[in-house]
Amino acid sequence: MERDWDTFLAPYELAVAELKIKLRGLRKQYRTSGGHVPIEFVTGRVKPVESIINKAGLRGIPLNRLEDEMSDMAGMRIMCQFVEDIPLVVEILRRRNDMKIIQERDYITNRKASGYRSYHLVIEYPVQMLEGEKKLLAEIQIRTLSMNFWATIEHSMNYKYKGQIPEDIQRRLFRAAEAAYQLDEEMSSIRDEIQEAQHMFNRKEPKKEVGQHESKDRNHP
């Protein structure tokens, strides 16, 4: 019997929609607080049917086992400005009680051979359907803006060459990945220097006494 993909993917569409609202709401809370905002922006998608079928074929996953063995049919991406923001976001998600983290994959400390860097969480997320609660798997990728730019280009290259990227381009992509990571580190260093300079300035800036201001105002012609 041919699968009804619209019905099958409906819970995943709902999960992505809910997670977008929740994660963007988290970003808004940080902005309202006036402090540093670790989340730059959030995107999400449900994997297209063709991609699901192709990946199932490559991984040897029976179509009747997709719910249990394919964890990224619902996928979220959280982009951060700095590498240091990533563990902060991961810890925030660990503390939430509306999702359960099933697996963590740290491709930042342990980058892939291609140069790919990102932090992946596989979560179990409950959605409320007409027939009741349904728990499904979803993947959250957390990365910097430069990591995301590289991964987007590398993904398009993989699609263009059908997974067989020429060796010369692979080497250039790897060098680009390392350059992107060096950019992240340099931007973090610049931010730290600016913060330290601001801290020193605030310590040295003399405090003005209110009484002195009032006295000068009274004597001003």
Query: Which residue in the list 50, 69, 139, 186 is annotated as catalytic?
Result: 139
Which amino acid makes up residue 30?
Answer: Y
**Pair of tokens at residue 58:** 């490559």
Q: Do 85 and 38 form a contact (C-beta atoms < 8 A)?
A: yes
Q: CB-based contacts of 157: which residues, under 8 Å, 6+ apart?
A: 165, 169, 173
- Residue in the block written with tokens 């040295």: 204
Helix (H, G, I), strand (E, B) or coil at 53: helix
- Residue in the block written with tokens 């982009």: 79
Q: Which residues of 32-44 are buried (b: 16+ CB within 10 A; e: fewer)?
A: eeeeebbbeebeb
What is the C-alpha separation between 103 and 188, in angstroms, rounded?
28
Residue 69 is among the residues annotated as catalytic for this protein: no
- Residue in the block written with tokens 């931010």: 191
**Pair of tokens at residue 165:** 């990227």
Quote the longest CA-to-CA distance of the chain. Answer: 94
Q: Is 65 exposed, middle or buried (0-12, 13-18, 19+ CB in 10 A)?
A: exposed
Q: Catalogue the active-site residues.
A: 139
